[in-house]
C-alpha cells in the first residue's frame, strides 16, 4: 500500500510536526521544540492562509481549541465559516454534507491531507463521520481553488489536515473523552501519541459514537392543510453505531518530512425514511479502509521551493437492505464495493525574484461493483463493474510584486476522464455508455494589499466537474441515479476585501466581504418526487450572492464574536424549460450565523480555571423546496446555549443545549392558481427528513499526560 511504501522509505527519518506554509519568498521555519500556549492568537492559521492565497479562504485551527467536543462537531465548526451551509438527513449520526455558495454536496471537493475523499460510491463526503479530534485544522477555499485541488467546482474545496502535534522523544501524551446526550446519544474516544527513538512519532486513535435517534417530531399525517388531525410521533429506525480507528506515523530527516496513516470505519444504521413515509427495517452498513501517505522535501531549488508526494489507496463497502420496499421503488438488497487509487506528485520551484511555479499531476482510478437481489432467499446477482480513470494536472504561477503587496496567480488545469460503464448489465438497460471527457479550467487570482490591515482580492476561472458514480447509478431507495448525465461546466467570478487588525491584548478583528457569481452549463441539480430524489442537468443556471464574516476577540480573548452572513440569488436559466426563471431547490436565500462568547482565566489555589459561556443563533430563510418555486419554507431561527470549562488544561467539560426554543414544525406557503395557502410540516432538511427539536449534549475530555510538543 502507498502508506506502507512511504513508511518503508522514510522510517529512518525524524518526527515532524505540522510545518506551516512559507509565504512569498520566505524560507521554511526552523525545526524546533516549543510549548503551545492556548492564549496564542487563534487567527494565526487564518493569517497564514490569507498571506499565501489570492482568493477567499478560511483556516480553522483545531489544535489550539483543546476543549471537549461533541461527536458531530465538525459540521458545527464548518457552519461558522462564511458561505457554508450544512445539510443533514435527520439528526446526529445521519448523513450530512456541505453546501458552499449555493452548491450541492457533490459540488464541494473534500480532501484529507491533500487526498480526495469524496467516495467513489457516493461522490460526496459525510462530514458527520469525521471525528474532529483527529484533525489539526480545516482549510476552506471559495472561488479561487489551487490547482492541486482538482478542476475547481461551484462549491470550492475543503482540505482537512490531520493533527500532527507530537511529544518530544521519549514522551507520551494520552487523551480520553466521553459524551452523552438526548435520545441515548453517546460517544467515547481515546488518543495516544508517542515520541519514539530517532525522533519518530506514533499516533493512534480509537473512537465510538452511537444514538438511538428516537426524537419526537411533528407528524402532519400527509395532510398539511388539515392541522386538526396532526400528532407528535417518535422517529423510528433512526439508530446508528459507528466505530473508527486511526494509526499514523510521522518523521523527518533533513529537508524531508513524511506522514502516513491508516484509517478504518465501520458503521451500522437504520434508514428511517421521510416523515410522510417512515421506514421501520431498512438499513445501511458501511465499512471503509483508507491508507494515506504524504512526503515533502522543503527548500528544493531555493527558499520557498518544495516537492510533495501524496497518495492513497481506499476500499469502501456498503450493504443496503430494503426487502420491504420502504424507501425504494421496489424490494432491493444490494452489496456495493469500491476501490479508489490516487497518486499526486506536486512541485513548487522558485523562478526569479518573487516568482514561483507550481505544478501538479494527479492520476486516479475508481472501480465500483454492485451485486443485487430482490428476494433475500436468492443469491446475489452480478450487475457489472463500473470503472473510471482520470488524470489531471496543471501549472500555476505565483508572482509577488511591489514588495509583496501584489500577488498575481494565473493557472491552468487540464482534466482527462474515461468512464467504462457499458459492462454494467443494469447500466446497459438504462442507457449508460462508455464515454470520455476532456476539459481545461484556467483561473486567475489577484490580491492587492493596500495596507497591512486591508487587502483587495478577486478571482475568475472556469470549472469542470464530471457526474459522480452516485449521481449516475445510485439505487439506494432515497436517491435514484441518471446514467445519461453530462459533465457540468461554468465560469466563476468573485471580488471583495479582507480587513485584519491585530492590536493585542486589547482586541483582534478580522472581517471580509465578497461578491460572487457563477454561470453554469449543464449544472447537475436534484429533484424530489415524494420520498426520493433524482438528478438532472439544467442546461443553464446562475448562482450569485454576497458573503461576509467577522471574527472579533477582545481583552485577550475574554470576549469573542464569530459571525457570517450569506445572501444568495439562484436562477434556473434553462430557456424552454418549465422551470425557467425559478430559484434552485433547497438553497436558502439568507443564511446568518452568530456565536458570541465570554470567558476568563482564573487561578484558584494553584488550579487554573477557564470557564466560557457561548450562545449560537442561526437564521435561514428563502428556501424553495420544489422546482416551480411555489413551496417556500418559512424562516427558521435556531438558538443554542453552551458552557465550557477547562481545568488546568488537563480536564475540559462542555454542556450544549441545541434548538433552545424546541422548533419542530414550520409553515410552507403553497401557491396554486394565484391562491396562497398555508401548510404545516415537520422541521426537516434534505428530502423531507425530520430534524430533532431541543436536545442536550454533555462532553468530558481528560488529558492526564500533556507532553511538550514539537513544532
Burial of residue 144 (CB within 10 Å: 0-12, 13-18, 19+) is: buried
* One-letter-per-residue 3-state SS of 105-126: HHHCEEEECCEECCCCCCCCCC
* One-letter-per-residue 3-state SS of 636-651: EEEEEEEEEEEECCCE
pTM for this model (two decimals)? 0.87
DSSP state of 326: S
- In this structure, of 74-88, 484-498, 568-582, the range with the lowest mean pLDDT score is 74-88
The answer to whether the beta carbons of residues 554 and 546 sit under 8 Å apart is no
SS3 142: strand
The answer to whether the beta carbons of residues 251 and 199 sit under 8 Å apart is yes
Name the more confident of 637 and 35: 637
Q: How far apart are CA 329 and CA 477, in angstroms?
A: 7
Name the more confident of 293 and 586: 293
pLDDT tens per residue, range 686-699: 667 888 899 999 99
- The mean pLDDT of 164-183, rounded to a whole number, is 86
pLDDT tens per residue, range 657-687: 999 999 888 877 666 666 777 777 888 876 6
Strongest mean pLDDT among 224-233, 308-317, 497-506: 308-317
Q: Cell for 624?
A: 424553495
Total of domains in the chain: 1
pLDDT tens per residue, range 598-640: 999 999 888 999 999 999 999 988 877 766 666 777 788 999 9
Q: For residue 443, name the pLDDT band (cuts at 50, 70, 90).
A: very high
Q: How far apart are CA 43 and CA 502, in angstroms?
A: 10
Name the more confident of 371 and 152: 371
Name the more confident of 141 and 1: 141
The answer to whether the beta carbons of residues 110 and 117 sit under 8 Å apart is yes
Strongest mean pLDDT among 224-233, 417-426, 472-481, 508-517: 508-517
Q: Cell for 257?
A: 518530512
Q: For residue 597, name the pLDDT band (cuts at 50, 70, 90).
A: very high
- In this structure, of 24-38, 558-572, 596-610, the range with the lowest mean pLDDT score is 24-38
**Residue 66 above 70 pLDDT?**
no
- The mean pLDDT of 501-529, rounded to a whole number, is 88
pLDDT given at position 370: 79
H-helix or E-strand spanning residue 73:
helix 73-78
Phi, psi of 193 (to 5 degrees): -125, 130
- Pairing mode, strands 157-162 and 109-112: parallel
pLDDT given at position 159: 93
pLDDT given at position 173: 87
Burial of residue 430 (CB within 10 Å: 0-12, 13-18, 19+) is: middle
**Residue 43 above 90 pLDDT?**
no
DSSP state of 624: B
Q: What's the chain's average pLDDT?
A: 82
Q: Cell for 700?
A: 468530558
DSSP state of 29: P
Q: For residue 553, name the pLDDT band (cuts at 50, 70, 90).
A: very high
**Residue 439 above 50 pLDDT?**
yes
- The mean pLDDT of 345-364, rounded to a whole number, is 95
CATH number, domain with residue 351? 2.40.170.20
Q: How far apart are CA 592 and CA 570, in angstroms?
A: 17
Q: For residue 63, name the pLDDT band (cuts at 50, 70, 90).
A: confident
Q: How far apart are CA 252 and CA 436, in angstroms?
A: 41
DSSP state of 150: -
Q: How far apart are CA 361 and CA 396, in angstroms?
A: 12
* Domain around 350: 2-710
| Phi and psi based region of residue 245 (left: phi greater than 0; alpha: psi -120 to 50; beta: remaining) | beta
Burial of residue 450 (CB within 10 Å: 0-12, 13-18, 19+) is: exposed
Who contacts 203 (Cβ-Cβ below 8 Å, separation ≥6)? 163, 164, 166, 191, 192, 193, 194, 246, 247, 248, 249, 250, 261
The answer to whether the beta carbons of residues 443 and 461 sit under 8 Å apart is yes
Amino acid at each position: 500500500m502507498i502508506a506502507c511504501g512511504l513508511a518503508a522509505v522514510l522510517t529512518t527519518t525524524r518526527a515532524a510536526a505540522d510545518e506551516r506554509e512559507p509565504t512569498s519568498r520566505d524560507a521554511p521555519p526552523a525545526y524546533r521544540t516549543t510549548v503551545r500556549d492556548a492564549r496564542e492568537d487563534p487567527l494565526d492559521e487564518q493569517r497564514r492562509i490569507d498571506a499565501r492565497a489570492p482568493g477567499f479562504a478560511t483556516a480553522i485551527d483545531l489544535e489550539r481549541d483543546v476543549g471537549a467536543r461533541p461527536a458531530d462537531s465538525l459540521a458545527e465548526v464548518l457552519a461558522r465559516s462564511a458561505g457554508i451551509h450544512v445539510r443533514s438527513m435527520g439528526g446526529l449520526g445521519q448523513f450530512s454534507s456541505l453546501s458552499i455558495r449555493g452548491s450541492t454536496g457533490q459540488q464541494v471537493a473534500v480532501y484529507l491531507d491533500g487526498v480526495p475523499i469524496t467516495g467513489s460510491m457516493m461522490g460526496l463526503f459525510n462530514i458527520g463521520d469525521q471525528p474532529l479530534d483527529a484533525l489539526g485544522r480545516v482549510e476552506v477555499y471559495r472561488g479561487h481553488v489551487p490547482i492541486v485541488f482538482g478542476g475547481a467546482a461551484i462549491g470550492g474545496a475543503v482540505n482537512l489536515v490531520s493533527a500532527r502535534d507530537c511529544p518530544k522523544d521519549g514522551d507520551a501524551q494520552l487523551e480520553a473523552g466521553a459524551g452523552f446526550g438526548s435520545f441515548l446519544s453517546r460517544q467515547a474516544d481515546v488518543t495516544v501519541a508517542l515520541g519514539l527513538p530517532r525522533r519518530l512519532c506514533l499516533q493512534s486513535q480509537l473512537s465510538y459514537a452511537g444514538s438511538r435517534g428516537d426524537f419526537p417530531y411533528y407528524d402532519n399525517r400527509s395532510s398539511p392543510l388539515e392541522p386538526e388531525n396532526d400528532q407528535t410521533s417518535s422517529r423510528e429506525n433512526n439508530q446508528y453505531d459507528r466505530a473508527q480507528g486511526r494509526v499514523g506515523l510521522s518523521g523527518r530527516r533533513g529537508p524531508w518530512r513524511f506522514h502516513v496513516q491508516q484509517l478504518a470505519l465501520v458503521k451500522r444504521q437504520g434508514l428511517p425514511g421521510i416523515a410522510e413515509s417512515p421506514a421501520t427495517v431498512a438499513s445501511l452498513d458501511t465499512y471503509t479502509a483508507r491508507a494515506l501517505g504524504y512526503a515533502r522535501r522543503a527548500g528544493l531549488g531555493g527558499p520557498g521551493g518544495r516537492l510533495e508526494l501524496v497518495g492513497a489507496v481506499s476500499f469502501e463497502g456498503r450493504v443496503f437492505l430494503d426487502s420491504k420496499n420502504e424507501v425504494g421503488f421496489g424490494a432491493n438488497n444490494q452489496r456495493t464495493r469500491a476501490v479508489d487509487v490516487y497518486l499526486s506528485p506536486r512541485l513548487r520551484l522558485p523562478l526569479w525574484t518573487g516568482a514561483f511555479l507550481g505544478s501538479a499531476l494527479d492520476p486516479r482510478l475508481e472501480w465500483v461493483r454492485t451485486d443485487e437481489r430482490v428476494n433475500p432467499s436468492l443469491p446475489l446477482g452480478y450487475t457489472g463493474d463500473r470503472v473510471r480513470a482520470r488524470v489531471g494536472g496543471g501549472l500555476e504561477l505565483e508572482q509577488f510584486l511591489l514588495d509583496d503587496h501584489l500577488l498575481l496567480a494565473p493557472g491552468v488545469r487540464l482534466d482527462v476522464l474515461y468512464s467504462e460503464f457499458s459492462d454494467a448489465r443494469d447500466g446497459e438497460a438504462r442507457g449508460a455508455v462508455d464515454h470520455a471527457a476532456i476539459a481545461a479550467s484556467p483561473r486567475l487570482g489577484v490580491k492587492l494589499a493596500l495596507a497591512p490591515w486591508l487587502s483587495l482580492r478577486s478571482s475568475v476561472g472556469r470549472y469542470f466537474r464530471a457526474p459522480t458514480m452516485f449521481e449516475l447509478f445510485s439505487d439506494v431507495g432515497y436517491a435514484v441515479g441518471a446514467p445519461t448525465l453530462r459533465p457540468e461546466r461554468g465560469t466563476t467570478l468573485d471580488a471583495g476585501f479582507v480587513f485584519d487588525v491585530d492590536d493585542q491584548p486589547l482586541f483582534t478583528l478580522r472581517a471580509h466581504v465578497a461578491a460572487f457569481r457563477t454561470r453554469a452549463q449543464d449544472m447537475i441539480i436534484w429533484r424530489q418526487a415524494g420520498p426520493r430524489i433524482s438528478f438532472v442537468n439544467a442546461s443553464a443556471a446562475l448562482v450569485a450572492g454576497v458573503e461576509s464574516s467577522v471574527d472579533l476577540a477582545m481583552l485577550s480573548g475574554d470576549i469573542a464574536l464569530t459571525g457570517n452572513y450569506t445572501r444568495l440569488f439562484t436562477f434556473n436559466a434553462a430557456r424552454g424549460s418549465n422551470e425557467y426563471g425559478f430559484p434552485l431547490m433547497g438553497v436558502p436565500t439568507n443564511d446568518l450565523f452568530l456565536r458570541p462568547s465570554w470567558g476568563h482565566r482564573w487561578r484558584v489555589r494553584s488550579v487554573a480555571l477557564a470557564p466560557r459561556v457561548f450562545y449560537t443563533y442561526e437564521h435561514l430563510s428563502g428556501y424553495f423546496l420544489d422546482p416551480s418555486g411555489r413551496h417556500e419554507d418559512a424562516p427558521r431561527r435556531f438558538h443554542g446555549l453552551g458552557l465550557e470549562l477547562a481545568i488546568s488544561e488537563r480536564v475540559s467539560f462542555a454542556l450544549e443545549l441545541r434548538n433552545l426554543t424546541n422548533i419542530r414544525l414550520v409553515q410552507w406557503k403553497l401557491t396554486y392558481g394565484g391562491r396562497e395557502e398555508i401548510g404545516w410540516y415537520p422541521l426537516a432538511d434534505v428530502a423531507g427528513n425530520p430534524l430533532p427539536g431541543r436536545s442536550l449534549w454533555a462532553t468530558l475530555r481528560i488529558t492526564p499526560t500533556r507532553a511538550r510538543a514539537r513544532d
